[in-house]
Structure 1
Amino acid sequence: MTSPSTILIVGGSGFVGTAVASRLTRDGIRLVIPTRRRERARHLLTLPCVELVEADVFDPATLDRLMVGVDAVVSLVGVLHSRSGSPYGPDFARAHVELPTRLVAAARKAGVSRIVHVSALGADPTGPSEYQRSKAAGEAAIRTAEPEVAWTILRPSVIFGPGDSFLNLFAGLLKRFPLMPLGGARARFQPVYVGDVADVIAEALVRADAAGQVFDLAGPQVYTLRQLVEYVGDLTGHRRPVLPLPEGLAMLQAAVLECLPGPLMSRDNVRSMRADNVASGAPQPWGRQPTSLETVAPGYLGKANKRARFDAWQLGRE
């Protein structure tokens, strides 16, 4: 398969998108990265071969223009919270279903040959949460791209790395509160390093055997949520007692948090944790060896990095 020379990254200005852009520019690939507000993506301007375009990717005519001259698309847009609905709420529908559908239509029209779509581990049309059901519907939309456009779907577990909104979130909470009431304390996760995600995306764009495939992306080890929170506490020097909450209390806690701006937790998040977020087979494709949490997390969560940890936590809340 011919390596793409120009790639459109939709959702390219966020945490994962930044890692993907950094990885792809190392190969000399020209990147087109749309963003709603150019100033929020200014950190990408230091990368070579990056064109930032202020654009609304949810507008079909805009997508058509963005696809001109593009060889491949990386689809990264995702949201964690939505107004409720059946089988999923309107915000999930817009980001996870309608946008992939429009991406496929625009790619076909422009003659784009490849789409790599990042979904989520646990995507399931009958899953317990609206998030999981909407992610599955988005995957179904991507599959309709063939035969005109070759697709690859990646399903990562929770993603960690400098600037993440997962471990850094708990670091900030543990610093501020003497006790950690925790819903889903027994839920199991297999966190994957953002650098591994970027590497797999780069490889999927050029491998012929990646076309038409769905791959899990996970790390080498499974942890409960409680274990992850306690590990963050150890690294930051702010270990707190963890109080596991039964689902009823966790739902009540989430209902209160939903009322806050930029909610930390929602009832749908609690429902998501009914299903383990663990790879069903090999953690990564093509015999790749995943990076361990213990290799990376101390570098940005350790006590010597308090200022950097706080900045990353704040970034994750924006």
Structure 2
Amino acid sequence: MTTQRIVMLGATGFVGSYLVPRLAADGHHITLLSRNRELHRDMAVLPNVVIRSADVYDDGVLWRYCDGADTVINLIGILNHVGRHTFQRAHVEMTRRLVDACHATGVQRLHQMSSLKAGQGESQYLKTRGEAETLVQRSPLNWTIYQPSVIFGVDDGLITRFLGLLRKMPAFPLARANSRMAPTFVGDVAEAIARCVADDSRSSRRSFELYGPEVLTLGEIVAAIRDAAGLHTRIVPLPDSLGRLQARFAGMLPGKPFSLDNFLSLGTDSVGVSNGYAALGIAPQPFTPSLPYILHGARQRRLDMARQTFRHRGR
């Protein structure tokens, strides 16, 4: 395997927290571009990893950091628009700028994070993911696109979000409980990308659907989280009329725990037809048996953070 100079965007998020250490272990030299490097100094302790504060929507900044890189990895993505951070800006405009920067600076290799069923359905999330894929596929670059189903792991946006809600109420109203998905472990997604980075021969100009071995409804997923946590919250499936109202209301709350676009995304089952893990020699972890370990890991992380806070205050 050849050591590469890699520039990563969106790497300080959930998937990046697993992928960066995995790539660093392979000996690559990695530059992470972040809005505020001071918030992610812990990642800079990894060997051959540096973090730079950068506005990735600035063409000059992109050109400067792409120049001299062997590979660029784009993990930028949002689940809800907030202010000027719209789906169009984060997914389409950002991808267009990045493709142009790679082409202008001579970078040939681009790895692009997308989503299973990108370009399908009614949600802006899926539509803009599809637009971004088209931009990449029509470019002259040597590209690979990753299309995961919903991703789970310690401190994720799936288990963590539902667990917090289940703990707060005796009955949980659930929109689109029959929506189907095949949750995939974040470590498996990171491993898939690392293998493609290491081997162009099996990943060049290809898209990989990445999904777990279990196909579950959203209701079954929430029930599994509840049971693994030892809770007794009753799950109440909502008809679409009430689910839409719930989404509109929740979308106005701080942090947008659920939005109308999330509701629309759930109208498209996140289940694939050709699992890219098989082509990459990866046996994906199932969701349900992993839950006890995920919950234990989340509890341990909270305890560690509490101990660090106590020690800091003790000084």
TM-score (norm 1): 0.90
- What are the residue-to-residue correspondences of 1:49-198 with 2, within 5 Å? 49-82=48-81, 91-124=86-119, 126-146=120-140, 149-198=141-190
Q: Which amino acid aligns with 2:98?
A: L
The answer as to whether partners of 1:300 and 1:308 remain within 8 angstroms in 2 is: no
Distance of 2:250 and 2:9 partners within structure 1? 29
The answer as to whether partners of 2:122 and 2:264 remain within 8 angstroms in 1 is: yes
Distance of 1:168 and 1:179 partners within structure 2? 18
- What are the residue-to-residue correspondences of 1:126-275 with 2, within 5 Å? 126-146=120-140, 149-205=141-197, 206-275=199-268
Paired residue secondary structure (1:145): coil
Offset, 1:305: 5.7
Q: Which amino acid aligns with 2:8?
A: I
Distance of 1:222 and 1:310 partners within structure 2? 32
Distance of 2:256 and 2:96 partners within structure 1? 28
Paired residue secondary structure (1:9): strand
1:5-37 CA distance string (max 9 Å, x none): 111111010110111101100001111001101
* Pairs aligned (count): 303
- Counterpart of 1:315 in structure 2 is none
Distance of 1:271 and 1:244 partners within structure 2? 16
- Counterpart of 2:11 in structure 1 is 12
- Closer/same/farther in 2, CA of residues 129 and 178 from structure 1, 3 Å limit: same
Counterpart selection for 2:287 from 293, 298, 301: 293
- Closer/same/farther in 2, CA of residues 309 and 275 from structure 1, 3 Å limit: farther
Distance of 1:49 and 1:145 partners within structure 2? 30
Q: Which amino acid aligns with 1:152?
A: T
1:266-294 CA distance string (max 9 Å, x none): 11111111111001122524142111224
The answer as to whether partners of 1:131 and 1:268 remain within 8 angstroms in 2 is: yes
The answer as to whether partners of 1:220 and 1:283 remain within 8 angstroms in 2 is: no
User: What fraction of aligned residue pairs are identical, expressed as a percent?
Assistant: 36
- Closer/same/farther in 2, CA of residues 285 and 58 from structure 1, 3 Å limit: farther
Distance of 1:254 and 1:195 partners within structure 2? 30
Structure 2: where are the runs of 5+ without partners? 306-315
The answer as to whether partners of 1:182 and 1:250 remain within 8 angstroms in 2 is: yes
Offset, 1:38: 1.4
